[in-house]
Amino acid sequence: MAILKTENLKKYYGKDTTLVKALNGVDLEVGKGEFLSIVGTSGSGKSTLLHMLGGLDRPTSGKVYVDGKDIFKLKDEELTIFRRRKIGFVFQNYNLVPILNVYENIVLPMELDGTRVDKKYVKEVIKTLGLQEKIYSLPSQLSGGQQQRVAIARALAAKPAIILADEPTGNLDSVTSQDVLSLMKITSQRYGQTMVMITHNEEIAQMSDRIIRIEDGKITGKGGEANA
């Protein structure tokens, strides 16, 4: 069953001689619980695609369905609430609040949403990601790998249906990258969450269940199963 689906998704910028087709007719389905990697070079359209999948930007045309809902039929405020509850984001630059400690950063999205924090579940996520000794630390007191673990915990904590990861290991060394990706895979399997990751790193992509490739705004290869 597809939990995430696009239909003829297009995103154009400019017009006439300055027209850029960032996405040019993308059809994609992602199954529930799947860990999918989208691989492409800089300028291929992979970041634009991720932003569309997460409802961070609206397409020129086409549809995105998340858990059966056509998200771009929602008004901006409705989309913000839907995104906050259904989709977790992990970015390359962590995006942690510097004046909040690890635990406060993890539960912040739920507090902003006014939803109850499942403390038992959050504690389990923190333990899985090896952060139990760091919950009172500020981001500045953490290594890059630890900060990315906090970002993953924050994405998982609200129990979203989908995790979208934008070059999550881009600022990490190769050993730490492998550790972080292993944890992402373990947590997505343990909590039954769908994960879509964009990357230019073929080695990192091999850790996912399936790889697709994007070039010039089009999917050029559906790909099969990646090597676990």
3-state secondary structure of 221: strand
In one-letter notation, the amino acid at residue 215 is E
- What pLDDT does 226 receive? 53
CB 172 within 8 A of CB 180: yes
- What pLDDT does 25 receive? 95
| Residue 98 burial by Cβ neighbours in a 10 Å radius (0-12, 13-18, 19+) | exposed
Ranges of each domain in the chain? 2-221
Question: What beta strand segments (E) does 119-171 contain?
Answer: 162-166
CA distances from 78 to 49, 62, 66, 69, 85 (A): 21, 19, 14, 12, 11
Write out the chain's pLDDT in tens, 228 residues: 789 999 999 999 998 888 999 999 999 999 999 999 999 988 899 999 999 999 999 999 999 999 999 999 999 999 998 998 899 999 888 889 999 999 999 999 888 888 889 999 999 889 888 899 999 999 999 998 899 889 999 998 888 889 999 988 888 888 888 888 888 888 888 888 899 999 988 888 998 999 999 999 999 876 555 544
Question: Taking the model in full, what pTM does it have?
Answer: 0.87
In one-letter notation, the amino acid at residue 87 is I
Q: What are phi and psi of 198, to 5 degrees?
A: -105, 145
- What pLDDT does 17 receive? 85
Distance (Å, whole) CA 121 – CA 99: 24
CATH superfamily, region 2-221: P-loop containing nucleotide triphosphate hydrolases (3.40.50.300)
